[in-house]
Amino acid sequence: HKFYAALPAWSRVHTKSFFTILQVAVVRYLQGTVILGLVVAVLTYVLLLIFKINFALPVAVFAGLMEVVPTIGPWLGGGLAVIVTLATSPHKVIWVIIGFLLIQQLEIQLLAPKIRGSQMEIHPAFLLILTVLGAYFAGILGFIIVLPLAMVFIKTFKYLRDSVRDGTIS
């Protein structure tokens, strides 16, 4: 609270509001990632159960956890499933590979834009454009931070716009 006390009186409420916006953006991004990881874990578990692959639950949990790692995480999750299938039921490996490719396409094309878009309050099409631009300009770091930054920017813009309209900022 000493931080806020050191600020000019007129800026305290706005600074607190900005930090609230920042906190909400990060929490929502993390919530979206957790939801996406859970969905991928469940889909992976169902896939591995259908083909009666040993260690389905730990492999599915690993695949879900790997959703936190951008770009290569889903491949690591799928890679473990392929390795376990090769070790325990090699004649089923092609079906597990096909299943994982389908899960990844479902995730990329439908799940990620819908889940992250709803959590971040950003239209799914805009979300896809942002993630591509973030990855292009800043690599994996850009891919990770572009959505929370966009949400902070949008929410801050709306907050400033509303504050100017209601006269709290002139």
**Whether residue 97 has pLDDT greater than 90:** yes
Instruction: Express each pLDDT in 18-28 by its tens digit.
Output: 999 999 999 99
Cα 94 to Cα 6, 51, 91, 100, 162: the distances in Å are: 63, 11, 7, 10, 56
**Whether residue 42 has pLDDT greater than 90:** yes
Instruction: Express each pLDDT in 69-78 by its tens digit.
Output: 767 888 999 9
Is the entire prediction scored with pTM above 0.75? yes
Measured between its terminal Cα atoms, the distance across the chain in Å is 26
Instruction: Express each pLDDT in 110-158 by its tens digit.
Output: 888 888 888 888 888 888 898 889 989 998 889 888 889 999 999 999 9
pLDDT value, residue 121: 83
